[in-house]
């Protein structure tokens, strides 16, 4: 492993490699009825389809929080489902969050959205620092070091060589021509306009490669980010 990578990955903050930049933040809440569903369509005002992800909680302090596609277990442990199902996607105009409550009592969902700019965009964007903490940079926290990113067309199993020698942190999205989806929703990806399955896919990383596996039945794109952090 090159010495500059060894040094950079051990720092909380380094300027040897770029910092990933969150270009969009939003938050809100939804009241979901018992055994009901709820969604919110939120205009993002960006000149591209963002790479959006979702964090949500059933408490306003987010003391226990979940990513899109994860959540509390169902009451019946024999059921292969979550107690609350969650999803997010982004198109050219909106971010859309949706929840299904399988519990028999109503629940309030608190959600936070964050998004990145795709690698094939170079737009001028407003600052998001005013919505963060007091410090724009604070080395009490670790800042993930972006090693490589890109977008490619998927036509079947694909491997991207990173060669770091350890399993790195990654962020990935699957995109159609009109919509981007975060990784938790990759299984049986649906074309929302037709309701048909356009992919049955999965992503995993090894010490040398980032790998896509599965079947592609329509035009799909992989947006990926590989970080020095392990």
Q: How many domains does the chain have?
A: 2
Q: What CATH number is attached to the domain comprising 215? A: 2.60.40
Do 34 and 106 reside in the same domain of the chain?
yes
| Distances, alpha carbon 38 to alpha carbons 107, 163, 198, in Å | 11, 43, 25
pTM, two decimals, is 0.86
Is residue 165 a part of any domain in this protein?
A: yes
**Residue pair 157/209 in contact by the 8 Å Cβ criterion:** no
Query: Under DSSP, is residue 141 helix (H, G, I), strand (E, B) or coil?
Result: coil
28 lies in the same domain as 104: yes
Q: State whether 109 and 26 are in the same domain.
A: yes
Full pLDDT tens readout for the chain, 230 residues: 666 777 788 888 888 888 888 899 999 999 999 999 999 999 999 999 999 999 999 999 999 999 988 888 887 766 667 889 898 999 999 999 999 999 999 999 999 999 999 998 888 877 765 566 666 777 888 888 999 999 988 877 789 999 999 999 999 998 888 889 886 555 455 555 555 555 566 788 999 999 887 766 667 888 999 999 88
Residue 41: domain span:
22-116
Residues 87 and 166 in one domain: no
Cα radius of gyration (the chain): 19
Same domain, 63 and 98: yes
Is residue 10 domain-resident? Answer: yes
**Sequence-separated (6 or more) residues with CB below 8 Å from residue 146:** 17, 18, 19, 20, 225, 226, 227, 228
Instruction: Please identify, among 99, 116, 133, the residue that sits at the C-terminal boundary of a domain.
Output: 116
Assess whether 160 and 222 both reside in one domain.
yes
């Amino acid at each position: 492993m090159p010495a500059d990578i060894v040094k950079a990955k051990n720092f909380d903050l380094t300027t040897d490699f770029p910092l990933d930049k969150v270009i969009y933040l939003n938050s809100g809440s939804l009241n979901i009825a018992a055994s009901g569903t709820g969604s919110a369509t939120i205009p993002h005002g960006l000149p591209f389809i963002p790479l959006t992800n979702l964090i949500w909680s059933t408490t306003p302090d987010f003391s226990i929080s979940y990513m899109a596609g994860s959540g509390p277990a169902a009451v019946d442990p024999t059921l292969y489902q979550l107690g609350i199902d969650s999803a997010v996607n982004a198109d050219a105009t909106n971010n859309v969050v949706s929840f299904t409550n399988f519990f028999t009592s109503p629940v309030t969902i608190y959600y936070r959205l964050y998004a990145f700019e795709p690698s094939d965009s170079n737009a001028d964007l407003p600052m998001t620092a005013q919505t963060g903490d007091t410090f724009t940079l604070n080395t009490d926290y670790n800042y993930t070091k972006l090693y490589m990113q890109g977008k490619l067309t998927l036509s079947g199993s694909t491997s991207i060589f990173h060669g770091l020698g350890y399993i790195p942190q990654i962020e990935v999205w699957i995109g159609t021509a009109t919509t981007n989806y975060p990784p938790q929703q990759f299984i049986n990806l649906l074309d929302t306009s037709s309701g048909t399955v356009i992919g049955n896919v999965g992503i995993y990383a090894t010490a040398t490669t980032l790998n896509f596996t599965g079947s592609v039945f329509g035009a799909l794109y992989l947006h990926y980010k590989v970080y020095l952090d392990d």
